[in-house]
Amino acid sequence: MKNVLLGDVSRRSFFAALGAFGAAAVVAPRAALSQDGKVLTLRSYSDLQVLDPAFRLSLPEDDIIRSIFAPLVIPQAGDTWGWKPIAVDSIEQLDDVTVAFKLKDNIGFTDGYGQMTAEDVKFSIERIADPAMESPYAGDWDALKEVEVKDTLSGLIHLKNKFVPLWSTTLPTPASCILSKKAVEELGDKITTNPVAQSGQYLLAEWQPKQKTILRRNPGWVHEQGGFEEIHIIPIEDPATAERGFEAGDLDYTWTSVSSLPRLKQNPPAGSVVLEKPSLAYVWLGINQDAEPFTNINIRRAVQHAIDRQTVVDAAYYGAAAVGNGILAPGLPGSRDSVTYDYDPDRARELLSQEGAS
């Protein structure tokens, strides 16, 4: 779970804000309304370093990228894993290996780079997948065969094989953000912190390194508007410092540390609410199967039965995390409802005894 501390907001405005700000709400809600609804001030745990969808370095950058470069879809705000369209009027999986899309009309790139087209979609997706780019996110499009352009606004995404993560961790991420083919080819292949040809609900208006990033509504965006006129993002690495800033009224939103969660849930600051939202993050204990005695499967099973995962989670995460049944979060395709090896110290001793170990 992710824990967030929010100022006084209405439910409707809160969800509208999530959709506006890149909608990383599937990982953790990242927005809350300021008092006047015009400016949102929030804490980010790191400053931006690069705004290239193919080379992004952190989740806060993901949010900014999805705000300034319109993606095909974004995660749907809420407690379940879903998505909503942003750059597309329609998008549909025709079969296991074919996705049809049609862009919204009148999505323009800034700086005179014209209208977004299906050719830009093809360029942007195939750019990330291209081995020559050496993008760390090439795996998001590992199953991509090609993007076929049908007309100015329509195309087909062809896959080499069925790809289960497509709708959960590929399309709703910056892997589907659309860049201007013309701009990238003219200006160079990597985008740093001075983007051109922006196309999203917001524009990067100002960046003061290690101090503040300001996003401002894109006046050229004629579709559903973002929830705020401006979003001010303050990089604060230390969660305790961010919590103090929230309590002082300097922030509308902040993540909390798990150690602060019990106190804040019991006594939240006036006018605020503490929310716990599902996360894709996981922590796991691995065993080196090439090292003795763990080459023996029964020894490995004994270790698994010997660990009380619930006690570990309760002690380390103050009840804010759930025991996992695998690396896939509950609700995602392929997630497991149960774990193979429950906490069973008697069974662990039995297995060790069978192998002459203790």
- The DSSP-derived string for 102-170 is EEPTT-B-STT--B--HHHHHHHHHHHH-GGG--TTGGGGTTEEEEEE-SSSEEEEEESS--TTIIIII
pLDDT at 31 (0 to 100)? 38
Question: 186, 207 in Cβ contact below 8 A?
Answer: no
pLDDT above 50: residue 25:
no
Backbone CA torsion sign across 343, 346, 351, 353: positive
**53 pLDDT band (50/70/90 cuts)?**
very high
Q: Which residue has the higher pLDDT, 271 or 64?
A: 64
From CA 72, how far away is CA 92, in angstroms rounded? 12
3-7, 198-202, 228-232: segment of lowest average pLDDT: 3-7
**pLDDT mean over 270-288:** 79
If phi > 0 it is left, if psi is from -120 to 50 it is alpha, else beta; for residue 83 that is: beta
pLDDT above 60: residue 15:
no
Query: Mean pLDDT, the chain, as a whole number?
Result: 85
Q: Which residue has the higher pLDDT, 32 or 172?
A: 172
**122 pLDDT band (50/70/90 cuts)?**
very high
pLDDT at 84 (0 to 100)? 92
pLDDT at 24 (0 to 100)? 27
Encode burial over 127-144: b for 16+ CB neighbours within 10 A, e otherwise: bbbeeebebebbebbebb
**pLDDT mean over 159-181:** 95
Most confident of 222-231, 264-273, 283-292: 222-231
Question: 147, 155 in Cβ contact below 8 A?
Answer: yes
Contacts by 215-221 with C-beta closer than 8 Å and gap 24+?
215/21, 215/64, 215/67, 215/68, 218/68, 218/110, 220/108, 220/110, 221/107
pLDDT above 60: residue 21:
no
In the chain, the domains with their CATH numbers are 1-271 (3.40.190.10), 297-354 (no CATH)
pLDDT above 90: residue 286:
no
Local structure of 201: helix, strand or coil: coil
Most confident of 239-248, 259-268, 310-319: 239-248
Q: By C-alpha distance, which of 223, 226, 225 is closest to 104?
A: 223
Q: Which residue has the higher pLDDT, 212 or 328?
A: 212
114-118, 175-179, 287-291, 337-341: segment of lowest average pLDDT: 337-341
